Amino acid sequence: MLAHELDARKHQILWAVIQEYVARAEPVASEALCHRYGLGVSAATIRLGMHALTEMGYLYQPHTSAGRVPTDRAYRLYVDRLMAGQVPPPEDHRLTPAERERIRRRMQAKDHAEDALEEAAHTLAALTDYPSVASTPGGPRRLRHLHLIPLADDRALLVVVAEGASEQRVVRLQRPATEEELRQVSQVLTRALRGLPLSEITEAVAQQAAAALPGRQELVNAVLAQLRRHGGVRAGVRFFVDGVSNILKQPEFQDVHRARPVLAALDREETLRDVLLPAPCDVHVRIGRENPVDGMWGCSVVAAAYRVRGRPAGVVGVVGPTRMPYARTIALVRYLAQTLSHTLSRTV
């Protein structure tokens, strides 16, 4: 069962079966290939090839008198070849300049990171017709600013500006603080902690910083507690999901029992994390059983990392059936990640 046993004709046949199955979602017959694809041989010969491909695990036959369906292994081979440039993407799978332009225009209006991510998921869902996800930037972000803003006597707003994202939290004050006092605490802490990855802001580091702030120990502790939560396991990563109901348009998910696990996985942050991460460098494709989440077998995930100022920050991607126009999906996801990188590097 070595993948290398595929000669030129078998490749031709396999690609044709994939293309045909992607388009029609029904087992592909030898006749259909014969007179829709110029393979130059008769249906009988194609049958021989299909038979061999079935034995090799690239095709699957639902029952004796049915056509063939590509297996995960077939898609994997196809995608590998595609990404290595050894297979030309079908004409209509390329992104036209007009499409690129439309995507760019939709994205560039957003001057708020979360809006941009939401728009990215939305655009991807609209263009692929699959559920789409964009994660907020995560990973070891470095702190840039801390600001405490007075809200009331017993609480203040802590604004944390980090690379790629900023967030705000409420901190409680055990005793009132003036605006001036808060400003001073912010300044001292910012100076001490700037440039540190949020996850590395430990007690020790901060205590040192707090030395310059006698009498405000509890406030410093409160700020620290928030920072730790912010930069901890959860790391503030959130997901924008769009077009979830699109999955129900796909013929393979007409059965609720097949669709529900997928929707359930898209519902929960923990599984979403597993599905999309770890963030790949370029585009990453997970086909069928390659997915870590049970019940997502039958799905493929195409995801790409976007970058903020050069560093991988978060992920955008789509979840669709394994029967998917990979060339086009990959091109779209890749381009969206690029555009998003660009947009976000201007933002925050």
Partner DNA sequence: GCTAGCACTCTCGCGCTCCGAGTGCTAAGC
Partner DNA sequence: GCTTAGCACTCGGAGCGCGAGAGTGCTAGC
* Binding stretches for its own copies (CB under 8 A): 111-113, 144-145, 147, 149-151, 155, 157, 159, 161, 166, 168-172, 242-245, 248-249, 253-256, 259-260, 263-264, 266-267, 346-348
Q: How far is the CB of 41 from DNA (least distance, A)?
A: 3
Token couple for 199: 């996850």
Q: How far is the CB of 238 from its own copies (least distance, A)?
A: 9
Give which of DNA, its own copies, none residue 256 binds (C-beta under 5 to 8 Å, depending on kind).
its own copies
Give the residue with the Cβ less far from its own copies, 41 or 159.
159
Beta strands 132-135 and 143-152, pairing class: unpaired
Distance CA 75, CA 297 (A): 13
Query: Under rule CB under 7 A, which residues in 41-80 are in contact with DNA?
Result: 41-45, 47-48, 50-51, 54, 61-68
Q: Which of 218, 207, 206, 144 is nearest to 181 (CA)?
A: 218
**Number of Cβ within a 10 Å radius of residue 71:** 20
212 counts as binding DNA under rule CB under 7 A: no
Q: Is 80 helix (H, G, I), strand (E, B) or coil?
A: helix
Token couple for 73: 């292994």
Distance CA 341, CA 306 (A): 5
Give the residue with the Cβ less far from DNA, 74 or 95.
74
Q: Kindly indicate which of the ranges 27-35, 147-155, 267-275, 318-326 contains the residues binding DNA, using the contact rule CB under 7 A.
A: 27-35
Give the residue with the Cβ less far from DNA, 31 or 269.
31
**Rg, the chain, Cα only:** 26
Partners of 171 in the β-ladder: 156
Give which of its own copies, DNA, none residue 331 binds (C-beta under 5 to 8 Å, depending on kind).
none
Give which of its own copies, DNA, none residue 32 binds (C-beta under 5 to 8 Å, depending on kind).
DNA
Q: How far is the CB of 169 from its own copies (least distance, A)?
A: 5
Give which of its own copies, DNA, none residue 66 binds (C-beta under 5 to 8 Å, depending on kind).
DNA
Angle at 274 between CA 272 and CA 275, to 5 degrees: 65
Angle at 136 between CA 132 and CA 140, to 5 degrees: 135
